[in-house]
């Protein structure tokens, strides 16, 4: 909500996607089906992914090396990771790596998650683990699919019913690291009811 309140243009674009879908669901009294969910909400999903990229609740993950591994940095430098070493991957660093996310990595640009956008990262090959808000592999969040659907539908309903207005325009919210990452101070957003 914070990012959306700071970007009225993104709110409007999101509303243009969401309103026709939800309006039809409300008028026909039919809930959104899985098929509708899968084939719609492309921009809504991009907004959520961009939010998770910039402010992932999980800030790092640790793994133990099963064998000696040599990693190569982007500058060609090689690093030996001995067997049984504990390796920590900081999502906050990977999520703002200019080699992956190109320019404006600190800016809120949901379009970067749309396939045809010039800022769309190549998340295959060596970059396939660059964006992992729910972790990957056998230790990925078992509630991932549910959480993704819930975030999309809750955001869609919020954007359908309300305009998000920042209490302090261009406010930067500090982060607080505990078990998960969270805002370090209250987020000031007013909700102005909309009618359709």
Average pLDDT over residues 151-158: 96
pLDDT tens sequence across 72-126: 887 889 999 999 999 988 888 888 888 888 778 889 999 999 988 887 877 766 6
What is the domain range of residue 39? 2-193
What CATH number does residue 108 fall under? 1.10.630.10
Query: Does the pLDDT value for residue 140 go beyond 90?
Result: no
Average pLDDT over residues 120-138: 77
Which tokens hold the place of 118?
């010039």
69-72 and 175-177 strand pairing: unpaired
pLDDT tens sequence across 170-186: 777 778 877 777 888 88
Which tokens hold the place of 83?
């067997």
Q: Output the average pLDDT for the chain.
A: 88
Confidence of residue 18 (pLDDT cuts 50, 70, 90): very high
Helix (H), strand (E) counts: the chain: 7, 8
Q: What is the pTM of this model?
A: 0.88
Number of folded domains that form the chain: 1
Q: Which of the residue ranges 23-27, 31-35, 161-165, 180-184 would you say has the lowest mean pLDDT?
A: 180-184
In the chain, the percentage of residues whose pLDDT exceeds 90 is: 47
User: Rounded distance, CA 10 to CA 48, Å?
Assistant: 12
- Which residues is 166 bridged to in the sheet? 189
């Amino acid at each position: 909500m914070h990012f959306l309140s700071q970007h009225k243009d993104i709110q409007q674009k999101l509303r243009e996607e969401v309103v026709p879908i939800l309006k039809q669901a409300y008028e026909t009294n039919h809930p959104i089906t899985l098929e509708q969910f899968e084939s719609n909400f492309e921009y809504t999903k991009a907004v959520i992914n961009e939010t998770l990229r910039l402010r992932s609740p999980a800030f790092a993950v640790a793994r133990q090396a099963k064998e000696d591994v040599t990693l190569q940095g982007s500058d060609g430098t090689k690093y030996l990771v001995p067997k049984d070493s504990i390796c920590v991957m900081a999502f906050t660093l990977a999520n703002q790596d200019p080699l992956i996310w190109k320019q404006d990595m600190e800016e809120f640009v949901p379009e970067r998650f749309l396939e045809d956008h010039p800022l769309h990262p190549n998340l295959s090959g060596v970059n396939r683990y660059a964006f992992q808000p729910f972790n990957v592999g056998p230790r990925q969040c078992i509630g991932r699919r549910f959480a993704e659907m819930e975030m999309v539908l809750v955001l869609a309903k919020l954007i359908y019913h309300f305009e998000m207005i920042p209490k302090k325009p261009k406010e930067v919210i500090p982060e607080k690291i505990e078990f998960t990452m969270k805002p370090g101070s209250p987020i000031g957003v007013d909700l102005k009811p909309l009618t359709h």
